């Protein structure tokens, strides 16, 4: 299926808050990216590999709100309350050369592909109607770039590289089955949790200051 991890998403109440979080957690400055007019958001971006990047995203207060819910659960009151306290690893995204086929064969409703653009870039992105996080952020969003070369190659390089992405989940077998249906299972790690535990994402990133971690729980241990 030729699917790959495309980017990691840090949600923040404001871009300034998100940039400060990355500085604290990774020890680097993440530069400004651009504006998503269709989604009512804006971002900062940096490389995590040749075809992989990190995104800090927040609601853009300077443009009109979109007619439909924003992506990454940013309109969800529980998500907004969480991000008002501190930014956190919110979601992850995978890319594919054929998003329509992937959506049809997946064992989960990843939403319908919609055309999104930012500046000269455009892509198809699987969006649920209510803009929700997929399985609370444990399942990835799907996308397909409309470009010959991956845009990460032109993003600022702060000498940070993704080492591992691990999902801790009380329904590990269920999660693995869905991820296998979209061909991404082998690129991540899944660790089982006890029955009533809260699932979370944990990524390890090699930085100029050593291995650092980002967590969907907030500040990583």
> pLDDT tens, position by position, for the chain (221 residues)?
799 999 999 999 999 999 999 999 999 999 999 999 999 999 999 999 999 999 999 999 999 999 999 999 999 999 999 999 999 999 999 999 999 999 999 999 999 999 999 988 999 999 999 999 999 999 999 999 999 899 999 999 999 999 999 999 999 999 999 999 999 999 999 999 999 999 999 999 999 999 999 999 976 44
Residues 204 and 103 both lie in one domain: no
Q: In terms of domains, do 134 and 184 share one?
A: no
**CA pair distance 147, 169, nearest whole angstrom:** 34
Taking alpha carbons only, the member of 17, 16, 22, 97 closest to residue 55 is: 22
Give the whole-angstrom CA distance, residue 11 versus residue 133: 11
Domain count within the chain: 2
Residues 177 and 138 in one domain: no
Residue 58 lies in a domain: yes
Identify whether 101 is part of a domain: yes
The answer on 71 and 168 residing in a single domain is no
- What does DSSP say about strands 161-169 and 189-192: parallel, antiparallel, or unpaired? parallel
Q: What is the pTM of this model?
A: 0.96
74 and 171 in a common domain: no
Asked if 116 and 186 sit in the same domain, the reply is no
Please tell me whether residues 107 and 186 are part of one structural domain.
no
CATH code, domain carrying 106: 3.10.180.10
Mark which of 102, 130, 154 sits at the end of a domain: 154
In a domain, residue 31? The reply is: yes
Domain-located, residue 220: no
Question: CA 48 to CA 181: how far, in whole Å?
Answer: 25
Indicate whether 221 belongs to any domain.
no
**Domain endpoint, select from 154, 171, 206:** 154
Q: Which tokens is 64 given?
A: 């009109």
Choose one of 121, 154, 187: the last residue of a domain. Answer: 154
* Domain boundaries, position 166: 161-215
End-to-end CA distance of the chain: 35
184 and 131 in a common domain? no
Asked if 126 and 167 sit in the same domain, the reply is no
Give residue 219's pLDDT: 61
Same domain, 133 and 28: yes
Question: Could you write out the DSSP letters of every residue in 74-98?
Answer: TT-HHHHHHHHH--EEEEEEEE-S-
Residues 64 and 105 reside in one and the same domain: yes
Is the same domain home to 74 and 123?
Answer: yes
């Amino acid at each position: 299926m030729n699917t790959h991890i495309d980017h990691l998403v840090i949600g923040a109440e404001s871009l300034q808050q998100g940039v400060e979080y990355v500085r604290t957690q990774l020890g680097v400055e993440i530069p400004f990216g651009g504006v998503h007019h269709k989604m009512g958001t804006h971002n900062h971006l940096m490389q995590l590999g040749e075809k992989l990047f990190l995104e800090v995203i927040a609601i853009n207060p300077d443009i009109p709100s979109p007619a439909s819910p924003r992506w990454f659960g940013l309109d969800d009151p529980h998500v907004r309350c969480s991000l008002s306290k501190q930014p956190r690893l919110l979601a992850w995204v995978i890319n594919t050369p054929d998003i329509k086929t992937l959506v049809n064969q997946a064992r989960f409703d990843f939403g319908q592909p919609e055309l999104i653009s930012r500046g000269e870039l455009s892509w198809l992105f699987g969006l649920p109607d209510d803009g929700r996080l997929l399985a609370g952020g444990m399942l990835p969003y799907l996308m397909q770039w409309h470009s010959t070369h991956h845009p990460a190659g032109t993003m600022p390089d702060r000498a940070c590289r993704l080492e591992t992405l691990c999902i801790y989940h009380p329904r590990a077998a269920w999660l693995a089955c869905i991820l296998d249906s979209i061909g991404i299972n082998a690129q991540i790690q899944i660790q089982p949790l006890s029955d009533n535990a809260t699932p979370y994402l944990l990524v390890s990133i090699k930085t100029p200051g050593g291995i650092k971690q980002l967590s969907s729980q907030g500040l990583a241990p």
